[in-house]
Structure 1
Amino acid sequence: MSPQTPIITLFMILLASLVLCNCSYIVEPLHQTNSEYYYPLHDGRLIKTKHQHFGHINKLDTLFSSRSRGMISVDDFGAKADGSDDREAFKKAWNEACSKGAILVVPKNRIYRLKPITFSGPCQPNTTFMIYGTIEAWPQMSAYEEDRLHWIVFDSVTNFNVDGGGIFNGKGKKWWKNSCKFTNNLPCNDEPRPTAVTFYNCKNLRVKNINFKDAQKMHVAFFRCFNVFVSNLVVTAPENSPNTDGIHVAESQNIDIRKSNIGTGDDCISIISGSKNVQVIDITCGPGHGISIGSLGANNSEAEVVNVVVNRATLTGTTNGVRIKTWQGGSGYARNIKFMNIVMQNVTNPIIIDQYYCDQTEPCQEQDKAVQLSHVLYQNIRGTSASTVAIKFACSRTVPCREIYLHDVILESQGGGGTTATCENVRYVNRGKFYPQCSP
């Protein structure tokens, strides 16, 4: 053996170690079904997608490199923050950051106004959007004539980070005031309103330390996204602002939402069809309509929701607590859902399954079909109800709720007196303390 052989061998070992350490996650094979979904983008296209069911992530050490990267300010590309539309400057800055995997910076103590805009990928890995200041929606509704459904869209970006402590302000009051849910003055107008911030077809995404305020409709939505980590969001809108869901999840898998404070005029968190492996942990909710699975099965559609965990939440003064809502006539299933370690404070419907959901002015006709609900756990849920009926299971006559488990559930009256439970067409098991209990 030559004197150089040990040195060469050591060099090869070190090189192999570096290559192996560069792999940040492993994903099991992708499985698809044939259920189709149409999603509109800003240019008027309807993108046809399919429900995609991803395997679990086996390892996820880090998504983003700690290496030093360039910082690109929107001001360097002509953003003025003077009340004019800064969209062109943001587009140029985005294109530069996206092409380099750099950090796009929205400076502190400045307010930038944007008309509807899409930040498109693919980008170089580790592209980051650091918002320290405020981004405001353009105030004139005429700017949304081409697309009434979106204000800001992040489309098809992988290994992407949004952070910084800044604010997305949807300036939604002008949009709410014409809604039939907001005013009793006639005539009113329920035309489509934009979601404030939409992440579409994004993978390995982190959204942290961001404030969302007064969205036109939903505040932040994840559509067809995979592997998303969300934490330390503050989402606020008035209690009477219509359909202003805080965080909305649809057609997405492996979603982790943590340590966020949400108070809006609709669901704090809503999870709808196509969602799989969703964790919601350490959430403060109120005002609003609670934390909801659904609605599912609208317009006789097929629904699929599986593996949802809501753990450690406090709901205060909400119109619902933890809710599953489905329309009559739908099909499919929602199963393996856990609501655990939840505190209810003056909540009107603390625990509710409503398979007769009907969010329209005309009455809904009863139908034979329904979304199948099964394997739902309620564990260690305690607090006070603002209504007499603290637990309501209104399940389908033809497709009853199955395997509903209640472990240590105590819900007392906020104003004194007793509470009751109504349990229709439900097969349940209770263990430990359970109050109020279902009538025989």
Structure 2
Amino acid sequence: MEIRRDLMLLWIVTILLFQNASNVEGRHQVIKKHKKKSSSKGSPAYAPSPEEPISQSPNYPPPVPSDPSDPPAPEDPNDPTNSSKNCIFDVTSYGAVGDGETDDTAAFTAAWKEACQVESGVVLAPEDHVFTITSTIFSGPCKPGLVFQVDGVLMPPNGPDCWPKSDSNKQWLVFYRLDDMTFTGTGTIEGNGKDWWELPCKPHRGPNGSTLPGPCNSPALIRFFMSSNLVVSGLRIQNSPQFHMKFDGCEGVLIDKLSISSPKLSPNTDGIHIENTKSVGIYNSVIGNGDDCISIGPGCSNVDIEAITCGPSHGISIGSLGVHNSRACVSNITVRNAIIKDSDNGLRIKTWQGGTGSVTGISFENIQMENVRNSIIIDQYYCLTKACRNETSAVYLADVAYRNIKGTYDVRSPPIHFACSDSVACTNITMSEVELLPYEGVLVDDPFCWNAYGNQETLTIPPIDCLQEGMPQKLAESSLYDC
């Protein structure tokens, strides 16, 4: 009897164990299905306007930090160490008024000082405020992941008469010696540049076609200096007294989804200027201003520009290079999938006589032109006055490719202009699927070439018969042009 009872108990235990194993497997299947379902959710964070070229921003170094405007993950209310508020330094909590008149500089510098000392700190200029600060240097080193987030309006004093006499009138907002820093937000950086533009800071257009003289000082709006692993995204930057944004001595820069604007006749208001800066990506941005849309100075390499709408402007420029007999080295520059419209220049390389160094590895690809004067131009006789003298040395240009450049040009200038140095020829220029038609009127000028060598992979419109095949018989002393 006892043996039968023991067998009965053993049978019951076996059944229970089997059922329990089946339930565990069932729960495991539910979890897998839940994960699959949740991973399919999501929506794009940015939708460009229909006229903007669209590009998937590459995972270009530096990696993009998480957007500080994204909602934070749920937190345990009983654990204050997990609160994201501990890392947000709202300038209004430091005394910033944000009424458009009060000087809020002290509040910004105090918030910066504290945010700099914590990892992933956020200096926040909140929306629905207009903050005024004077010329300020936000310097590091700081803890990694620092974010300067402008959701309201941030602006300098209104014009030269309101500029503090003790402040530099060459720059306004400076970020210095920083690593792994992001400048972002949904707000506006307003430059208040109108009164500065009336000063003769560069020879520029005056009444009735006259030219106003220079020079004088006007502040660049935003400057990054000797910094690395930078991200600038999402902001609207407008009406700068001079350059809107400059990068000098930097490495690892990602610029994405910016809007930069100033009037067509505002002098010297380059949109984005880089010099002595390496590993740069500029994507998905709209720039209209009174000077170069993007300008690339000496010491730059590995620059990738894609999905830019540019104009009105002076186009996308490499240079000017070699001023005052200086050495200039620029290499590996790519511009693709861009629109240039209503501009005085399109794709331009400009150098002074007397310089040394080289420009190599340049690629312009898939560019749409709309009413652009000097659509494709190399000018090795760049000069701002009539007093420039002829010199034998020059910055050497080689390996420049123009592929799928199409659209319309302003007939006041030839659509293609290659003016290379008398003594240092341009070599290995490649033309492929270049088709440029007059915006209005009739075609009046053939392309111009001087001492330019290269090849045509396809016939161009208009035909460019002046480009010489092969290589020149003699190149200048190569040691002057090594970089």
Q: TM-score range by the shorter chain?
A: 0.7 to 0.9
Residue 204 of structure 2 corresponds to 181
Determine if contact 1:176/1:182 at 8 Å carries over to the other structure.
no
**Of the candidates 71, 90, 109, which is equivalent to residue 91 of structure 1?**
109
**Equivalent residues of 1:317, 1:346 under 8 A apart:** yes
Q: CA deviation at 1:189?
A: 5.2
8 Å contact from structure 1 (residues 178, 188) kept in 2: no
- Tell me what 2:176 maps to: 155
Aligned residue among 398, 420, 426 for 2:446: 420
Residue in 2 aligned with 1:209?
A: 234
Over 3 Å counting, the alpha-carbon distance change for 1:144 and 1:217 in structure 2 is farther
| 1:384 and 2:402 are equivalent in the alignment | no
Q: How do residues 44-83 of structure 1 correspond to structure 2 at under 5 angstroms?
A: 62=63, 64=65, 68=84, 70-82=87-99, 83=101
Q: Secondary structure at the match of 2:335?
A: strand
User: What is the DSSP-based 3-state SS (H/G/I as helix, E as strand, rest coil) of the residue aligned with 1:89?
Assistant: helix
- How far 1:132 moved relative to its partner? 0.2
1:372 aligns with 396
CA gap of 1:390–1:159, structure 2 versus 1, over 3 A, is same
The equivalent of 1:252 in structure 2 is: 277
CA distance in 2, matches of 1:237, 1:183: 17
Contact 1:205/1:227 (8 A) holds in 2: yes
Q: Which residue of 1 aligns with 2:155?
A: 136
Partner-residue secondary structure (3-state), 1:256: strand
Deviation (angstroms), 1:72? 1.0
Q: Please tell me the residue identity of whatever aligns with 1:130.
A: Q
Higher helix share goes to which structure?
Answer: 2
Map of 1:344 onto structure 2:
369
| C-alpha deviation, 1:61, in angstroms | 8.3
- Assess if the C-alpha contact under 8 Å between 2:90 and 2:125 holds in 1: yes
1:161-197: per-residue Cα shift (whole Å, max 9, x none)? Answer: 1111211111111111122415359986531211100
Match of 2:6 in 1: none
Task: Give unpaired runs (5+ residues) of structure 1.
Answer: 1-57
The separation in 1 between residues aligned to 2:267 and 2:395, in whole angstroms, is 26
Instruction: Tell me which amino acid in the other structure corresponds to 1:423.
Output: C
Return the index of the structure with the highest Cα Rg: 2
Q: TM-score normalised to the size of structure 1?
A: 0.83
Cα–Cα, structure 1 residues 145 and 349, in superposed 2: closer, same or farther, change >3 Å? farther
Distance 1:330 1:230, change over 3 A: same
Report 1:113-132 matches (<5 A): 113-132=132-151
Query: Matched residue of 1:389: which SS?
Result: coil
Shift of 1:214: 0.6
Deviations 1:290-336 (A, max 9, x none): 00000000111100000000011101110000000000111111110
Following TM superposition, by how much is the alpha carbon of 1:64 offset from its aligned partner in structure 2, in angstroms? Answer: 3.1
Report the CA distance shift for 1:223/1:103 in structure 2 as closer, same or farther (over 3 A).
same
Counterpart-to-counterpart distance in 2, 1:62 and 1:196: 25
By how many angstroms is 1:59 displaced? 8.8
- Structure 1 equivalent of residue 337 of structure 2: 312
Match for residue 188 of structure 2 among 150, 162, 167? 167
Q: Aligned residue for 1:241?
A: 266
Please, what TM-score do these two structures have when normalized by structure 2? 0.76
For residues 125 and 65 of structure 1, do their structure 2 counterparts lie closer, same or farther at Cα, with a shift above 3 Å needed?
Answer: farther
2:357 paired residue among 332, 335, 344: 332
Equivalent residue letter for 1:170: G
Question: What SS class does the counterpart of residue 374 from structure 1 fall into?
Answer: strand
Instruction: State the alpha-carbon separation in 1 of the partners of residues 194 and 416 from structure 2.
Output: 34
Q: Describe the superposition over 1:174-224 as per-residue Cα deviations: whole angstroms up to 9, x where unpaired.
A: 111122415359986531211100011111110000111110100001111
CA contact (8 A) 2:60 2:254 kept: no
Question: For residues 188 and 422 of structure 1, what CA distance do their matches in structure 2 show?
Answer: 30
Q: Aligned equivalents of 2:306 and 2:184: distance in 1?
A: 19
Q: Distance in 1 between matches of 2:170 and 2:134?
A: 13
**Gaps in structure 2 of 5+ consecutive residues:** 1-58, 73-83, 467-483
Q: CA distance change for structure 1 residues 213 and 144 in 2, over 3 Å: closer, same or farther?
A: farther
Q: Distance in 1 between matches of 2:462 and 2:294?
A: 26
| Distance in structure 2 (CA, Å) of the matches to 1:252 and 1:341 | 25
| DSSP 3-state at the match of 1:415 | coil
Equivalent position of 1:275 in the other structure: 300
Q: Distance in 1 between matches of 2:363 and 2:211?
A: 42
Matched residue of 1:266: which SS? Answer: coil
Corresponding residue for 1:218?
Answer: 243
Query: What is the match of residue 43 of structure 1?
Result: none
Aligned partner of 1:406 in structure 2 is 431
Higher strand share: 1
| 2:461 pairs with 1:435 | yes
1:433 Cα deviation after fit = 3.2
Aligned-partner Cα distance in 2 for 1:63–1:285? 24
Per mean C-alpha deviation after superposition, the further-off stretch among 100-109 and 412-421 is 412-421
Output the amino acid matched with 1:181: H
Give the equivalent residue in structure 2 for 1:40.
Answer: none
Structure 1 distance, partners of 2:281, 2:219, is: 24
Alpha-carbon separation, structure 2, partners of 1:295 and 1:214: 23
